[in-house]
A and B are shown apart, each in its own frame.
Chain A
Amino acid sequence: MMYVKGVGMTKFGVEDRTTWDMAYEATYEALDDADMNFNAVDAVVITSVDTKIGPETQRQYQALVPSLFKKKLPVIRVPAVCGGGGTSLWTALRLGYDNILVLTTDKIATCTTGMIVNEIMNATDKVWEQDEGINFIAENALVAQEHMLKYDTTSDDLALVSFKNHSNAFLNPKTPFYKKKVSLEQIKESPILASPLRLFDCTRNVNGAAAVILTKDKTDIRVKGSGMCVDYLAPFEREDMSTWRATTIAAEQAYKESGLEAKDIDIAEVHDAFTILEILAYEDLGFCKKGEGAKLIRDKVTNIGGKLPVNTSGGLKARGHPISPTGLAMIYELVKQLRGECRDRQVSNLKYALAQNIGGAGGSISVHILEKVGG
């Protein structure tokens, strides 16, 4: 059984910072939070993506860690694109170290939008998808369309997801949309990037880092369940694009390990890189029946103040998505929520929290369940 000893995270934004600088800040905050120094860290799991579009071209991230923290120790790199944070956490939980740092850092807001779109497109199959103009927005647009055709989900439902998450980010100082109001009209009138998805259905690419220190020592936050599954690379290759089976399988593993069910979860952070994915997550995690995800957002069940608040941080939509760090940013938010440290967006009476992190288009998916212990 592993516990969370400390968490750290930079503000996610478009500021021009190096990955090592952000990694150092996130780690420093996590060490402070854990009330320890780097001497107590036995090993590090690090994740980052090999972007070719920024000013940084170094690839040896393992060696960056000892250089940065002045300690020779085992460093394991676990890249899984957008799912890097969750996959690294899953890995670290299974390595058996007493104290292990999970660290993620990425710089993606480095150049023009087209170049970034192209860079992120690298997480799809070159021959079947990239050559056919499939970028990540289009990939998820086809998923949204299939869900809409099957289950009567509408663009208005997607707008409600966006509006909820922007409203949450308004309250979160670590996000680029902190204290920035986004209206429902603004969302609905934003330009269509790949039909049916609009600009405000899509995440904001940012730079950032996040860190989590896991320990065998008992703390106030226990990792109660952990699951991971990787589906086929291209959604069109799967039986059904409107359900992401890897989420269901990873969730089943996490629920089984924790002895919990979906109905026991009090709060969740899910991978809403595109608004449709939050609705898919509701269904695939078992928060509702298949095809009824849109009802949860219409009925405000997942709002702060609802029965099951989702993405209180602002989600990928409005907290921003620096690729690998996203999975640990979810853990950061959930730990802070479970401890009651989220001020204006604090949810009361929390015991169990769930994080769902996705790499690629429904490819590498991890699900983690945290439990508030004692207190």
Chain B
Amino acid sequence: MILRWVCRKCDKKWLYPIEKCVYCKGKIEKEIGKQMKVVGISKVNIPCPPHPIVPYNIILVQDEYGNKMPKKVMREYKIGDEYRREASDDESAVSIVKIKYDYYEAVKEALELIKADIKDKKILIKPNIFAAAYPYQGLTTNPKVIKGLLDYLIEKGVKKENITIAEQVQFGETEKAFKRSGFSELAKEYGVKLVDLSKTNFVEKETDGFNFQISEEVLVKDLIINVPVMKTHLFLGISGALENMIRVVSVKTYKELEKDMEKAIKAIGVLNKSIDKYLTLGDASIGIQGNGPGRYGEPAFLNMVLASKDPVALDKIFTEIGLLKDAKHVLVAGDLGVGSSDLVDIRVVGEELDACKRELKPAIGSKLIKLR
């Protein structure tokens, strides 16, 4: 897809999603090119930190409107070849989509590449708002990603009354966290419910020897759309799809699990197994690297979203993108049958995985950080 924002009257096009033309003051239309042909190629042999794997190819693609854009690919193309992105209905397919300023288009493409079924569903959106943080800090789910998701759901016929955004914070006050992270305003703007999970009823659920108290709000919904921030994590290695679901349990369950790290690692997998199928929209619009997941981390500015019906596969792909070591809780969840942690079984759609790989700083800790 090639995006342009166009003033038909003045015959001007922009790379940026502006709303009004500075010449005629008229409205701007979005132009979406879908038939892409390769019109230029360069094989790059010189690595740099965001693009460490060489050689890679840059193809210049042109759409049916004559608009062009460069694409980084590993595959070989010839001038005149078609450039296409195939969707997949594999349960473990993971889509990777780069955000070209337009969050809605990125979210839409990411979900459509995995053939997400959202029709006529009662949906709970589970972001990551573990504490009060501003959106620019990248610690909580980017409200722009959620805005793109809400636009897509509503466009696809999901009724606003059937959409709930729900989370419980780990640190501080929920109301403050919702406000600071931009979610109070967002929920108000769209007229969707914003629920503090800690104030909901919790239902006892026993799975594989674990007793979880899970929010009823989560269990009664047809579909959970899990929207974690993709991060490195001091305890777990990474946090993403699997870890984000931990905050659907009661504080009592959480504190119980927290006592034993080995047990917690297994519990994350078991918990994800015990919740009916959900899909994940991984927010890597900023993403956290280094000593995440909190304030000791630093923004990675990945500028992409990931989507999958398989949380294990999605987390695995994130470790691959960041050239990070495998995270134990992801492997354990794979062994428990929650999803696939084996690259052989994961189909990546959208961007090519190798073309997205770059070294993220792992969470290694420091003497400044007091581990619990």
Contact = CB atoms under 8 A, between A and B. Distances in A.
Nearest to A133: B72
A145 B51 CA distance: 22
Contacts, number: 91
B135 interface: no
A129 to B, nearest CB: 6
Contacts of A234: 15
Contacts of B50: 118, 130-131, 133
A7 to B, nearest CB: 34
A128 interface: yes
B98 A131 contact: yes
Interface in B7-22: 15
B48 A145 contact: no
Interface residues of A, number: 33
Nearest to B13: A237
A142 B70 contact: yes
Contacts of A146: 40
A261 interface: no
B193 interface: no
B354 to A, nearest CB: 12
B261 interface: no
A128 B58 contact: no
Nearest to B3: A128
A36 interface: no
Interface residues of B, number: 29
Contacts of B44: 133, 135, 137-138, 141, 193-194
A97 to B, nearest CB: 33
A114 interface: yes
A145 B41 contact: yes
A123 interface: no
B57 to A, nearest CB: 9
B327 to A, nearest CB: 25
Nearest to A114: B48
A192 interface: yes
Residue of A125, A133, A146 with most chain B CB atoms under a 10 A cut-off: A133
B42 A115 contact: no
A132 B48 contact: no
Contacts of B58: 132-134, 138, 142, 194
B329 interface: no
Nearest to B53: A133
A120 B345 CA distance: 39
Interface in B58-102: 58, 60, 68-72, 79, 98-101
Contacts of A196: 42
Interface in B90-134: 98-101
A142 B69 CA distance: 12
B371 interface: no
9 contacts: A114-B48, A127-B303, A129-B70, A133-B70, A135-B48, A141-B44, A192-B45, A194-B43, A237-B68
Interface of A: 113-115, 117-118, 121, 125-135, 137-138, 141-142, 145-146, 149, 191-196, 234, 236-237
The 9 closest A-B pairs by CB, nearest first: A133-B72, A141-B42, A118-B48, A117-B48, A236-B68, A114-B48, A195-B43, A132-B70, A132-B72
